[in-house]
Amino acid sequence: MRAADERAVNGKRELTEGLAAQILGHIRDGGLAVGTHLTAQGLAERFNVSRFPVGQALQLLAAKGVLVHERNRGYFVSSAKDASPETLGLAPREEASHVYFRIAEDHLHGRLPDPVSEAYLKDAYGATKAQLNAVLSRIAREGWAERRPGYGWSFSPMLTTPESLEQTYRVRLALEPAALLEPGYRLDPEIAARCREAELRLLAGAIETDTADALHERGVRFHEAIIGASGNPFFLEAVRRINRVRRLLSYRSMIDRKRYRRQCEEHLEILDLLERGRNPDAAQALRRHLEHTIENLQEIRPILER
């Protein structure tokens, strides 16, 4: 096989394995039950990719026993759902992960040209073509860069200061409690159970062991789940847009994890109130939760300003 062909194959394999690891994280952190049906369309929308790479990742997870494929029905979560990316050989390659966070930091500090060519990124970060393809695919899925027609990549506007991050929380403070008071509010019991399982898993020790992006995604899933239950799509779309632009500063804030136990306990309190139909009390608890987060931002400001 020619070197160029081999690099292309390696790049596709890393993309498939990386997406498979994300789907596995979605299964585990979301507490998806055995037998849960996973659709390519739903996963493509969640991870902002086309259905083709999702299909490749689902095939890979089925080959590794995490999913069961039923002809003409699709893919379903198997009893091996608690396997880790490491045991399945899906752990992100350390070099690619290192390149990802270096690009993220340089973007936060305004050190990257925009647009930027792949050749520039490859030379600046000492990455192989396969590693860079995997990193750029991840960044594109997360929504903070996109390929430009005919030339390189362009970065989306992202939050770069503690002040801008605090502003997003103030918008959320205005929106999210109100969403819990919508007249058509209904939190699906299965979704609530998945959210609770994810919080209990963190309290059992995963706060210290999960990656920064796994912690971020768990928080995103919780808030989007309880806001999505409002039945009002405008609340959910607003929160999703905010979550996309705050991602990088959220990663940095996770250097200090001491506050996560309290956050998990507050999430569980909100769930308990919603499941008991006490939505006004849940809205007040959510307001206090977001206010605590804003207070915490002041304590970790030196981390955010690095």
Q: What is the pLDDT of residues 189-240, one digit of tens each?
A: 988 998 999 899 999 988 888 777 777 788 888 999 999 999 999 999 899 8
Alpha carbon distance 143, 176 (integer Å): 22
In this predicted structure, what is the pLDDT of residue 301? 58
In this predicted structure, what is the pLDDT of residue 81? 65
**275: pLDDT strictly greater than 80:** yes
Alpha carbon distance 156, 174 (integer Å): 25
Alpha carbon distance 136, 131 (integer Å): 9
Q: Do the beta carbons of residue 248 and residue 159 sit within 8 Å?
A: yes
User: 3-class SS at 69?
Assistant: strand
User: What b/e readout covers 58-72, taking b as 16+ CB neighbours within 10 angstroms?
Assistant: bebbeebebbbeeee
Of 28 and 256, the one with more pLDDT: 28
**37: pLDDT strictly greater than 70:** yes
Angle between helices 3-29 and 129-142 (to 10 degrees): 40
**95: pLDDT strictly greater than 70:** no
Rounded mean pLDDT of 40-68? 85
Share of the chain above pLDDT 90, in %: 33
**Rounded to 5 degrees, what angle do the CA atoms 300, 303, 304 make?**
90
In this predicted structure, what is the pLDDT of residue 48? 62
Q: What predicted TM-score, i.e. pTM, was given to this entire model?
A: 0.62
Share of the chain above pLDDT 70, in %: 81
In this predicted structure, what is the pLDDT of residue 272? 97
**92: pLDDT strictly greater than 70:** no
Element (H, E) at 71: none
Alpha carbon distance 62, 78 (integer Å): 9
**7: pLDDT strictly greater than 50:** no
Work out the pLDDT band at 3, boundaries 50, 70, 90.
very low
Q: pLDDT tens digits, residue range 132-157?
A: 887 887 788 777 788 888 778 988 76
Tokens of 129: 């073509």
Long-range own/partner contacts, residues 186-193 (CB < 8 A, 24 or more apart): 186/229, 186/231, 187/225, 187/226, 187/229, 187/274, 187/275, 188/229, 189/275, 190/33, 191/225, 191/229, 192/225, 192/271, 192/274, 192/275, 193/31
Rounded mean pLDDT of 243-269? 79
**176: pLDDT strictly greater than 90:** yes
In this predicted structure, what is the pLDDT of residue 88? 75
